[in-house]
Amino acid sequence: MSNPSRPEWPVPVSIAPDILAEIQAEFAREWLLMTESLQQGNLAPPADRRFGSKAWAASPASLLAAHTYLLSAKAMSQMVDALQVSEPVRNRLRFSTMQWIEAVAPSNFMASNPDVQQALLESEGQSLRKGLDNLFKDLQKGRLSQTDESKFELGKNVATTAGSVVYQNQVMQLIQYAPVTDKVHKIPLLLVPPSINKYYILDLQPENSFVRHAVEQGFTVFLVSWRNPLASDIDGIDQATWADYLQHGVLQAIDAVCSISRQKQINALGFCVGGTLLASALSLAHAQGKDPVCSLTLLTTLLDFEETGVLDVFVDEYQVQAREHQLGTGGLMSARELATTFSFLRPNELVWNYVVANYLKGESPPAFDLLHWNADGTNLPGPFFAWYFRNTYLENNLKVPGRVQVDGYQLDLSTLSMPAYIYSSREDHIVPWHSAYASNNILRGPIRFILGASGHIAGVINPPAKKRRCYWAQEASAGHDEMPGNPESWLANADEHAGSWWPDWCNWLVAHSGSLVRAPAKPGNARYTPIEDAPGSYVKQRAQ
């Protein structure tokens, strides 16, 4: 990734005259076709779900506004693409322009949205009253409601897989899930979720729980539940560092799982930032002369941060220094700020869609477990976040052997030579799949790379019973030197498979999980005794 310093404003910009003329000519041609269709009475609704209802189709003025908006938005985007500026500046302008375009859509205003006007008339004003009520409730919460959060309770209808917390410290709780089969595979599995979210994305409701599915396949499953630090905490959690999360989080969890299972090596899976933490911790363990993991699974994980997609617009030296000044020695990166940032990566789907439905139409958002999880954010210790921001997104230090040191040990991800299963999602806007594929250039063991359909979360949480989506894979795992350097070359030779990738992963993991043995009669051991039932208390702490 390039490391641009903060650009000097105003940045001189220009567009080549011939390109500008082409954009203007195309705009004029499409405007003429649009107005002719309107005059002839056959202007069709645009292919955009915001303007596709019968109310829009029945209103020529509204249709004209919708088409004019989309035509203008297209021209503005073309002009940004044509600007003669550096690529970092262009990306920031693209992002800013996108935010403005999405905000001014005629669907976002009562005066220009015939759907909203129709709902107002049909409800005799009740839609407006309910909308204002929804708005005031959200103002009290300090965030936009995307789902009916009252319908979900941890341990009742989400995060319901039976288990016990068998260890806890300042940064995490360790959950051991109860077996549901008479026999289990000898080598257990540890799940490391992202620390910027609650773990129960992997254990939503029973029918879409990754954890439950793994337990049902005969794996003994452990999981790290990260603590949600609060401003009111007085034990110094707000000063926790990246090293603390490696030593007292991932490596402590691995030690406990090895002790409880009486195995020298275990299987480990990391999801998103959890995968980056896991790989870093295993590199640290290797530097300490340890080799505790016999197979590694990475789900939508970045190890090489050269290309991070739209998130690049938030990263430059100025922004990183500002965060280091604000949080480098203590404090919290708030869950609310993190959630807002991620929502505005896709504002049409995650912001304005709900503004229109909740506030303008007075509708109540439906109950959706994934969006309930999305609203249940986690704060991050400031030093942890500041370190991560600089060493990954800005400087991409983790992929360079020896550039990062933790407690005096040099990290080298290329020392990880265990078999690896790498999953990425084709439409992932947070971890672009080409960047996830780049982990093949870092890890040194045999690799099975899987590309799933859909995005960062929906691609991962895809239970087999639903028979949805698809994934791409090659027949067998490949050696490090056998993987094509170009991800598109890999895709060209991969086969498409209908449905979930979960069975493929389970089949791969069985080969690394040892023989079947009698399932443990109770959780923990003499050293790690049960503290409380899953889902535990850490995950229930709401961000303030």
Amino acid residing at 43: L
Burial class (CB in 10 A: 0-12, 13-18, 19+), 14: exposed
Q: Are strands 266-271 and 189-192 parallel, antiparallel or unpaired?
A: parallel
Q: CA 280, CA 261: separation in Å to the nearest integer?
A: 23
Q: Which of 258, 272, 294, 470 is catalytic?
A: 272
272 is catalytic: yes
What does DSSP assign to residue 319? H
Question: CA geometry: angle at 433 spanning 287 and 198, to 5°?
Answer: 70
Q: CA 54, CA 282: separation in Å to the nearest integer?
A: 57
CB atoms within 10 A of CB 469: 17
> Which letter, b or e, does each residue of 253-290 get, where b requires 16 or more Cβ atoms within 10 Å of its Cβ?
bbbbbbbbbebebbbbbbbbbbbbbbbbbbbbbbbeee
Q: CA 503, CA 217: separation in Å to the nearest integer?
A: 9
In 240-342, DSSP assigns E strands to 266-271, 293-299, 332-333
SS (H, E, C) 152-199: CCECCCECCCCEEEEEECCCEEEEEECCCCCEEECCCEEEECCCCECH
Backbone angles phi, psi at 232, to 5 degrees: -80, -10
Would you please indicate which residues are annotated as catalytic (active-site) residues?
272
